[in-house]
Structure 1
Amino acid sequence: MSVLDPAATAIRLFDAERNLHFFPIRHHSPACALHLREALRAIRPAAVLIEGPVDFEPLIGELLAPGVVPPVAMVALPDSEAREKGRGGTTYYPICRHSPEYVAIQQATELGATVRFIDLPSRHPSMLSDDRDRQDQPLLPMRETMFDRGAYVEAMCARAGFRDGLALWDGLFESRARNTDWRGFFASVGAYCSALRAASDENELQADGTLARETMMRACIDNAIAARSGPIAVVTGGFHTPALIDAKPETPPPAGAATRSNAWLIRYDFRALDRLNGYGAGLPLPGFYERVWERLTGTNDANSSLTEEILVGFRAHLIANEPALAFAFPTLRSMVEAARRLAELRGLSEPGRTELFDALRSSAIKEEIEVGAHPLLAAFTTYLQGDRLGDLPPGSRLPPLVERARGEAKSLGLSLEDAVPKTRELDIYRKPRHGQTSRFLHAMRLVAPPFAQRNKGPDRVHGFRADMLMETWTYAWSPAVEASLIERAADGETVRDAAATILIRRLADLEKEGQRNNAEAAFNLLSVAFDAGIGSAADTLVAAVGVAVDEDTNLARLTNALVIGQALNSRARMMQSDTSIRAFSSLLPPLLDRLARRIAELLYDLAAVNADNVGEAIGCLAALAEAMADPDPPFPTEPLRDALQHLMTVQLDPQLTGAVIALAALIGLIEEAEAGRRLSAALAGAFERPGDAVRTLSGVMALAPQLFVNESSVIAAIDGLFGAVDDQGFLALLPQLRMAFAELSPQETDRVAAAVAAAHGAGEDDIAILQQVPDARVLSEHLALGERLRSQWLQDGLAAWLEPSP
């Protein structure tokens, strides 16, 4: 008798002699859930054993508490040891209303049966086999990819005429949900799963933890048999059932199968539950199967057509939300009829998911369809996916941080009713409530990063769009948000308390990483605290920043820190009305005073900078120029001006000389005319070394190109330099010249060209011709060619040809 024969499988599944009943299921299958409910009512088991991590068993009572609205998930958070071993990530065991496991728990409780989970603990290494396509997908203790691929599935699809394994499952099993023969249904599922198991590679099952998990399940079944007081029902994924069904000698559970874990019940959503989003079990588009379940269990009008309900609802959704995609009523009628006829043709009692999509394609889309690309198909997919977010009743066993975060979000007008990402624009300076919302979202980025993402807004620290008054955020409550908050629960009971703890921990991490004296990194942490309105961390952070300022010897980090601190001080003055910001207001000026004086001390060391390090030094001067451009800077400028005055009297690298002159002019230490004279003198002094002259010019261009444009004496000096350089020398200087002149705008370039042309007696027509000159690369090639021709003519005794005509 073949185990692939449903009749033979039924004998093995329902063992009357041992009073042991196996129910092979597919996770989140409405058909399996409905038949399982009827089976449990019929056999009235004393114990129901379910494939679920044993450490989640204490959550069963919470799962059935009044007010719990699936989808929800049992989750286990990694401990510090797991993170250190690279086993981070939260493990999720999702439950929806049409999950067979949920129905089994409900029915067992109603019958007074004992409920046990029999799989390995959620954080056991064999449960953490990570076959995710993306790191943002959840870790799952249930994996069912074997249902949808492999040689057996492909052969069955070809034989039965289904396009893929998901459509095959629907056609073979979901279509039989209304059949009252639960024994026959599970016998067919068992035979199908036995074939899948027979086609599997044993080595792969060993590697992905399947065999270790089944060892644990057999041990739990043996224990239940030994303690039996009546029928036992075993509910597991169908792929495992063939390995569990035969009687085995007592099997000890695998080593490390302790049941302690950091487990919680959280809200979940249909988007996360969707196979099409990378979820590793169940069926795609859970919103569709939820509608099927409601129809099967009578919570919707059983006399109306589910096909009509879905397609009419989809059309209404499009009219309200995406009117450009909406279709006419005759098209709707055609879609309904097409779905029904396809179901009849395929031998189904009613249209399923595949028939609905095929009807949409054939009736509403006339043009050629690229795979997955048509917007109407995408909209239908999203509609059937559903956006339901589960809920937990007030007083659920959750850390205070979770509910306080939700409460604060709602009080600020953020919608948490579903899992659909939403956009919020905030006028952060002119509307106090918007400023509060911004600070909450910034704090949540620290505590629960999946919740919100800032898309646009001012960056007052690094100067990008610093004048913007608006921020734009995208946010959505999701299982990952709730899990992150649970993981951070020990850091504080409010979002800001937890954020403060995180920042202070990051400060400690700087010290561990040998970055205790990194003033820029410390100021960046201070900036994050400011954005999040974490005034409680201000004293600790400012004190640590002060230590970093005193000990940092890196001028680049210090000048960048000055720019950050100055921006923070400016923002603090603009937002004095907010109490969380006032904590920073009195602390920043003394800190910036220490920072400016520390920078002034180190500026004297620039005299020793050589060509290898001059780029970083010029970057420091550029940051200093940005900070000192403020007409009323919140730090003392006299020590900085004294240091720059000294640098103008000593011998510096040529490029640094140009940058120091430019900075002195920018901050008013010298007049522009004086800067022009100094620069002309520097260029003249480098007349014998054209490369040094160009490097001096490059230093000016890096900070203040207008000095070159506005001062005719500087232009004349450069022009004279070029006139004294032969073609070969000019070619050697060309790369440096290109870099230097790249700082000029097109208008500035035109002004310089006009000045040089006038000095050589050229007019506008001559300039127009010059504007058609090839680019620098072509020009360089032509000059090199001219030089080769000149050498050849000289060798051939044609020197007279090179003389200009009289």
Structure 2
Amino acid sequence: MTAPTSSAPRPTTANATSTDGPFGALREQLTAAASAFASSSGAVAEILAGIVDDVDRALGEELEIFPVCHHSPASALAMVRRLRAKQPKVIYLELCEDLQPLLGELRNCRLPVAVQAFASQLDGFPADWGPLSVVAPITEASAEYQAIAYALETPGVELVLVDRSTDHVFQWSPRRPDDADEAPAGEDVEAAAPAGEEAALHGDAVGVEIGDLRPRFAELEAYLLHHGKVRHWSEWWDQYVEQPLADADHDTYRQVMVLIGSLFRRLRPAGSDRQDRDEDRERYMWTRIREHLASSGADPSECLHVCGAFHAASRVEQFGLAADAPFEISPRTGTRWHYGLIPSSHSAIEAQFGLAAGSVSIAAATWTKAVARTGLTPFRLEGQRGGRTRTGGRRRATPAPAPAAPVADRLSGYLAQPPATQGLDEAELRGWCVDIVRLARRNGYLASTADAIAVFETAILLASLRNRARPTPYDFADAAVTCIEKDVVPGRRDVRRLCEILFGGDRVGQVGYEALPPLARDVHDRLGPLGLDLEKRTIQRALVDLHANPELVPCSDLLWRLRHLLPRDAVRPIMGERRLGHRSIQESWDLALGRSQRALIELGYEGVTVEQVLEQRLRRAVRGPDATASVALEAVEDAIRLLDSPRLVDELGARAVELLAAERTVDEAPEVLRRIRRLLAHHRATGPLPAWCEAFVTTGYAHYCTLLPTAFLDEDSGVRQVGAMLGFLFGMESLALSLGCDRSQLELAVAQSHPETPAKMALLWAARHQLGLLPLAELRERCATLLANPLVVPAFPQYLSGFVQALEPVPGLAPFVVEVMSSAFARLPDPVLLPWLPTLITTLRAHGPELVPLLVREAGRTFPGSLPALDAWVPPWSAPASPQAAVPVVTSGPVAGLLSGHPEAVDAVAALLGCGGGWREEAATASATPPELTTLLSAHPETADAVAALLAGEPS
């Protein structure tokens, strides 16, 4: 964007040395005070005179500027009074201009809610910024809501949003969105709002709010807090601005607010990025205002510009209707923005804008009390819960607005005398004390009437120490914490939280059904057969018997899809599961869709139905820059479980083959092996293997054979990954060979592998044993050599770790691994074994936790089950080998006849096996009964007779 960056003010009739205008006397007084009390009077005089000039300039503008502060009851009261008196025809509001179409949907919501702009697919912004989200929270006790309600409910009134678009919010942000410009700085840690469930309703969205009025200079804020005897900014603002201005007239309110905005504007670090963005926002707003006036022909005297007091004291050259300085607004990027309303809460507003905990609740209580005291009728939208609509143009006739009076100096009198203070309202304070003790007792505190009296007296004492005529809610909360909360908090809520509840609580808004996006309404409609009120914020239990009520099957399918898309606490299964090849006939769910309205609404920005969004997310997951073969297999599994779409499964499976062939590391090998095994088992049980499964097996076989020698040498490839590669190669070998793969490729890869670490060495030995290249006797001998070498014994747990990982590709090694571990425990002396055990345990826990149960089961089959039997037990690997009985050659029966009848075939097979042709002589020699067998039969004739009878033969 090309825009002038100079902040020099355009010439005005009033300047620092002039005494003309309504504020000339005030300017002289401030200049004289600066000369009398300041050591460097020139700078102080310039600042004080400049503040007066800013007030004079803002109030002298042809278009009436109404300065406000966000969520300020005083601003809301002043706005109601001004709207009823002036009855403007056009209201220019400082809010993102592309949010205007949503404001009409506020009728279908319960405040507080937030207007949101959301973008997940970015075009023109860094990819790591996504998703982008901008929210503008709205409460009833705010000037912007009163202006919106007046404009929407009064015929003939036009509301125009003139602030930068949400796209420009990020265009002008030089930092990441989570550090962006709207978050105020300087709030102390003590006053930080709690980060609870309700505080997270806005997520990580950037907050845009009208009237961000706070010092941009940390030292100034610290000075004000110290001398104001308050702990945080919200309390200072309530004490020194809100209460004095609550009953002020219109001119006094405007002048004081512009004065404060100018003070904070001038006392801030110069040349910051935020200063440039603030000035660009002001240029943007005034440019849009002049464009609308030129196109609509509206009379500026019938218009009202509602903006933050900070921007009302603007000094940019585009300020005012008479300015002609150009400002070029850059085009928006190609990012597609989605708009909607999301629920908000007092704590969410406090957390996002750095306000003190409970300050928005106190502001809401102050607003309610002020409306009742003054008798004003606030503006409310039709359909607002509990609201009455009495607007200036619909329900009753209103007098014509009075002509604008000339600007008079109200600042001098306001600054010269303290504001009128109200005396102590004992009835109100007494009611607070009684209510807080009642709440404390309900929440487990041992509070009594004595505590109520103590809170009463302590609140008055704290107010006196802080130079206050009456205790504020902040004084009362401090007193309650001091007197009631002793050492520990007995329940979930502390006393400060109870005080927030006392003053109105953390009010949570709700978006009505009609204001929801189509997807959210579709979810509510499709879950209607469950008979639950899904708009409630409580957790509701849904019992689904699919056998007795088959019509609930679509509800079950939708719930499983929502489980995949929404946060875990929104849709939580209590009973039942959905996995490959299995569906429960009875399910139980805990539903909290009312609490997760924001997530459901943002889901509606991605599509019209849940199935469409799920399909898009699965495709996006396998096409993303971080997609891997395991991610694609997971997407295939989700598509099978949640969507009945063979076409989508084939598409995702083909993408998994592509990703596997393109991988250059083996980090995902364990996950790939686990998922492809499960998918192969599912497809074998349900039908023929799809083409993508066959391609995945053949591609994986060749791919892992190629990477195997490198993985054995690479230090970044762990023993778990190499074991999973071997598990894939040996486990899928039969299928891969049937599909055309060559086993010699695996043999060559194993022959080329030369690992250096003990664990991978053990894996290689297991692989060679599986291929028949390393007999078990030789493997046993190698392990015995390792145990006999004292230099290798400390590293022997690493060898064991490799053997444990080898159980994945070679599960038949389980007896051998038990044998090796038992031999180590039997042979190693205690000085060597005891330091060796912790390393063994940590190694097995880190590299093979899921394979240890296999070893335990094998040990259970090997070792005796009772302690007495252990004394006489001889390990199988230590028992002497019994002589093998000679296997008699069958010389009678059908087999003997077949062999004798076709000796040429037997000779040919013997020649292929490298054997001689004397098998006839050996068979004839072996036909004689051995003497050992004759002796055995004579000693046990009953056994021989029983076997003969079982075989239907004759007794011997």
Q: Same-fold call, TM > 0.5?
A: yes
Secondary structure in 2 matching 1:74: strand
Deviation of 1:499 (Å): 1.0
Distance 1:683 1:648, change over 3 A: farther
Partner of 1:240: 311
- Cα distance in 2, alignment partners of residues 458 and 568 from structure 1: 21
Query: Are 1:361 and 2:432 matched, yes or no?
Result: no
Query: Are 1:214 and 2:282 matched, yes or no?
Result: yes
Partner of 1:777: none
Alignment counterpart, residue 229 of structure 2, candidates 144, 161, 167: 161
Distance 1:93 1:48, change over 3 A: same
- Cα distance in 1, alignment partners of residues 456 and 821 from structure 2: 84
Deviation of 1:256 (Å): 1.8
Partner of 2:672: 561
Deviation of 1:566 (Å): 4.0
Question: Does structure 2 retain, via aligned residues, the 8 Å contact 1:21–1:234?
Answer: yes
Aligned pairs (5 A) from 1:265-344? 265-271=340-346, 273-275=348-350, 277-279=351-353, 285-298=359-372, 323-325=443-445, 327-332=447-452, 334-336=454-456, 338-339=458-459, 342=462
Q: Rg bigger for which structure?
A: 2
Distance 1:709 1:62, change over 3 A: closer
Distance 1:173 1:586, change over 3 A: farther
Partner of 1:120: 164
Partner of 1:391: 510
Aligned pairs (5 A) from 1:617-628? 619-621=721-723
Partner of 2:257: 189
AA partner of residue 302 (structure 2): P
Further displaced range: 195-204 or 558-567? 558-567
Question: Does structure 2 retain, via aligned residues, the 8 Å contact 1:618–1:659?
Answer: no
Partner of 2:207: 140
Deviation of 1:503 (Å): 0.6
Alignment counterpart, residue 844 of structure 2, candidates 733, 737, 743: 743
Question: Does structure 2 retain, via aligned residues, the 8 Å contact 1:219–1:250?
Answer: no
AA partner of residue 541 (structure 1): V
Question: Does structure 2 retain, via aligned residues, the 8 Å contact 1:14–1:22?
Answer: yes
Secondary structure in 1 matching 2:844: coil
Distance 1:197 1:501, change over 3 A: same
Question: Does structure 1 retain, via aligned residues, the 8 Å contact 2:167–2:332?
Answer: no
- Cα distance in 2, alignment partners of residues 380 and 702 from structure 1: 59
Question: Does structure 2 retain, via aligned residues, the 8 Å contact 1:72–1:268?
Answer: yes
- Cα distance in 1, alignment partners of residues 70 and 308 from structure 2: 7
Partner of 1:580: none
- Cα distance in 2, alignment partners of residues 77 and 367 from structure 1: 45
Deviation of 1:91 (Å): 1.4
Question: Does structure 1 retain, via aligned residues, the 8 Å contact 2:530–2:542?
Answer: no
Partner of 1:504: 619
Alignment counterpart, residue 780 of structure 2, candidates 680, 694, 699: 680
- Cα distance in 2, alignment partners of residues 542 and 345 from structure 1: 75
Distance 1:195 1:408, change over 3 A: farther
- CA offsets 1:292-335 (integer angstroms, 9 cap, x no match): 32333339999997666766666666666xx3347335434543
Secondary structure in 2 matching 1:525: helix
- Cα distance in 1, alignment partners of residues 432 and 681 from structure 2: 56
- Cα distance in 1, alignment partners of residues 160 and 437 from structure 2: 45
- Cα distance in 2, alignment partners of residues 429 and 600 from structure 1: 42
AA partner of residue 521 (structure 1): V
Alignment counterpart, residue 255 of structure 1, candidates 303, 321, 329: 329
Question: Does structure 2 retain, via aligned residues, the 8 Å contact 1:31–1:174?
Answer: yes
Partner of 2:102: 59
Distance 1:178 1:619, change over 3 A: closer
AA partner of residue 272 (structure 2): E
Secondary structure in 1 matching 2:314: helix
Further displaced range: 142-151 or 94-103? 142-151
Question: Does structure 2 retain, via aligned residues, the 8 Å contact 1:271–1:385?
Answer: no
- Cα distance in 2, alignment partners of residues 717 and 408 from structure 1: 63
Partner of 1:376: 495
Partner of 2:599: 481
Q: How does the TM-score come out when normalised to structure 1? A: 0.67
- Cα distance in 2, alignment partners of residues 606 and 53 from structure 1: 55
Partner of 1:77: 118
Question: Does structure 2 retain, via aligned residues, the 8 Å contact 1:419–1:477?
Answer: yes
- Cα distance in 1, alignment partners of residues 426 and 150 from structure 2: 28
AA partner of residue 122 (structure 1): T
Question: Does structure 1 retain, via aligned residues, the 8 Å contact 2:606–2:613?
Answer: yes
Partner of 1:699: 802
- CA offsets 1:36-91 (integer angstroms, 9 cap, x no match): 1112212233332221122223334444x4x3322222222346314447664111
Aligned pairs (5 A) from 1:344-355? 351-355=471-475
Deviation of 1:31 (Å): 1.5
Secondary structure in 2 matching 1:22: strand
Partner of 2:400: none
Secondary structure in 1 matching 2:635: helix
Deviation of 1:287 (Å): 2.9
Further displaced range: 257-266 or 433-442? 433-442
Distance 1:485 1:471, change over 3 A: closer
Distance 1:325 1:7, change over 3 A: farther
- Cα distance in 2, alignment partners of residues 644 and 329 from structure 1: 89
- Cα distance in 2, alignment partners of residues 568 and 267 from structure 1: 40
Partner of 1:612: 713
Secondary structure in 2 matching 1:360: helix
Where structure 1 has 5 or more consecutive residues not aligned to the other structure, the ranges are: 463-468, 574-583, 756-762, 764-806
Deviation of 1:687 (Å): 10
Distance 1:604 1:48, change over 3 A: closer
Question: Does structure 2 retain, via aligned residues, the 8 Å contact 1:698–1:740?
Answer: no
- C-alpha root-mean-square deviation of aligned residues, in Å? 5.9
- CA offsets 1:718-759 (integer angstroms, 9 cap, x no match): 95xx99xxx9xx99xx999956994399999xx9xxx9xxxx
- Cα distance in 2, alignment partners of residues 713 and 648 from structure 1: 31
Partner of 1:715: 823
Percent identical = 19
Deviation of 1:265 (Å): 3.8
Deviation of 1:603 (Å): 7.7
- CA offsets 1:186-227 (integer angstroms, 9 cap, x no match): 332222222112212342266551000111223344456764
- Cα distance in 2, alignment partners of residues 110 and 457 from structure 1: 49
Distance 1:205 1:264, change over 3 A: same
Deviation of 1:29 (Å): 0.8
Where structure 2 has 5 or more consecutive residues not aligned to the other structure, the ranges are: 1-25, 31-47, 175-179, 186-199, 377-424, 581-586, 808-812, 846-851, 864-870, 872-956
Question: Does structure 2 retain, via aligned residues, the 8 Å contact 1:28–1:100?
Answer: yes
Question: Does structure 2 retain, via aligned residues, the 8 Å contact 1:74–1:265?
Answer: yes
- Cα distance in 2, alignment partners of residues 565 and 457 from structure 1: 27
- Cα distance in 2, alignment partners of residues 41 and 187 from structure 1: 20
Query: Are 1:520 and 2:660 matched, yes or no?
Result: no
Question: Does structure 2 retain, via aligned residues, the 8 Å contact 1:9–1:190?
Answer: yes
Partner of 2:36: none
AA partner of residue 360 (structure 1): A
- Cα distance in 2, alignment partners of residues 149 and 14 from structure 1: 26
AA partner of residue 146 (structure 2): V
Secondary structure in 1 matching 2:624: helix
Question: Does structure 1 retain, via aligned residues, the 8 Å contact 2:344–2:508?
Answer: yes
